[in-house]
Structure formats: C-alpha cells, structure tokens
Amino acid sequence: MKMTSAQKSLCCFFLLAILHSLQAFRDAETGLYTTRWVLVKGGSLEVKGSTNINNFTCGITGYSNPDTIVVFRAPGDRDAVSLRGSLSLDVKLFDCRNPVMTGDLRKTLKSKDHPKLKIRFLSLSKFPDLSSQPDNIRGLVDIELAGVSKRFEVNYRFYRDQQKIIRLIGERDVNFTDFNLSPPRKLGGMIQTDNRLRVQFQLGMKAL
C-alpha cells in the first residue's frame, strides 16, 4: 500500500525525533556539551618563507568546503575542550605569484604523489569568548603533508565579527624537514630556501 504525502511527512517527523533523542542520550552519557561550527566561504592558508636573496609568500585562497568542526567541552569547564574536524586543501592550488616559485613549491611538497594538505583539529586550551575582542588561545592540530603527519601546538586568535561570523586565525612555524622534505634550491645551490616556514590559516564559521 502506497503512503500518502501526509503519512510520509509524519514518518519523517518521527524519524527525526528519534535521531534527536538518540543524540541527546549520547550527550547525556558523555556528559559533554557539544557545539558545531560550520565553515563559510572565504577561508585561506598562507605560508611565508625566505631565501638567501628575498622573501616569498604563497597561499591557497577561497577555501569553500562546507566542513564542520565539532566542539566538545564539559559543562562549566572552559579549560577542557576537544575538537573533531579537519580541512583538506589541494596542494596544486598554492600560488606564489611567480610561476617558477609556484612550480618549485608544488614539486617540493610532492603534489603529484600527495595532492592534499590536511589539518586535523584536536583541542583548545579553553573555550573562546567569541566576542568582538580577539581571544588568544593555544590548540593542538595534526598537519599531514607529503604523506607525513606531525602534531603541532598552534596559536589562535578567535573573535566574532559584526555579521556574527566566528573568525579563527591560526599561526605556527614549521620546517620543511618536519615532513622529510628538503628546502628548494636553484642555480646549483646559489639560491637556497630557508628550512623554516610561517603558516597561517584563516577561517570563518557559523555556530549551529
């Protein structure tokens, strides 16, 4: 017997209610307060480095995947915050505003064999205030690059803008050698890239 539109709607309502109850029960079991931050369009990742001749900046702009970061924290405890969520960026989208340098960086990062740079969010030192004033917080992430994953502590700045968008800015120095990579060299070694890079990523998020 075929279901009418009203019967289908009623079934969907009860299914959603059951799923909501299961989620509420699961939260009650863990005793954790859960918040979800959904990424909005316009995220970016930038790396800054230097050679023995000049400085350079390379970036990936316009990150728009609708990823979600799930925030877990104990009620009344701002200092125990766990995160679940990640970014997956296409290494071939790195642009250094110089074709030769862009090609060298993509080659150094092994973009053909390992096309994705992944950032997995793990924890925060506290839950951010999310006011108009920047809140400085530390956090842990796993960064996977060129097939190697390494854990880092990142310095964050959180604030909420006039459109109620949560802005997250994360910064960290990393080395090519952290990921078993050799810094690029040109002209028989006359131009040498420093091992250290400053990585900064910026995200906009809405709280559900």
| Chain Cα centroid distance, residue 135 | 18
Print the SS3 string covering the chain: CCCCHHHHHHHHHHHHHHHHHHHHHHHHHHCCEEEEEEECCCEEEEEEEEECCCEEEEEEEEECCCCEEEEEECCCCCCCEEEEEEEEEEHHHCECCCHHHHHHHHHHCCCCCCCEEEEEEEEECCCCCCCCCCEEEEEEEEEEECCEEEEEEEEEEEEECCCCCEEEEEEEEEEHHHHCCCCCEEHHHCEEECCEEEEEEEEEEEEC
Q: Are strands 185-186 and 55-63 parallel, antiparallel or unpaired?
A: unpaired
189 pLDDT band, cuts 50/70/90, is low
pLDDT at 164: 93
Say whether pLDDT at 39 is over 50: yes
CATH node for 32-207: 2.40.128.110
CB atoms within 10 A of CB 199: 20
pTM: 0.81
pLDDT over 50 at 19, yes or no: no
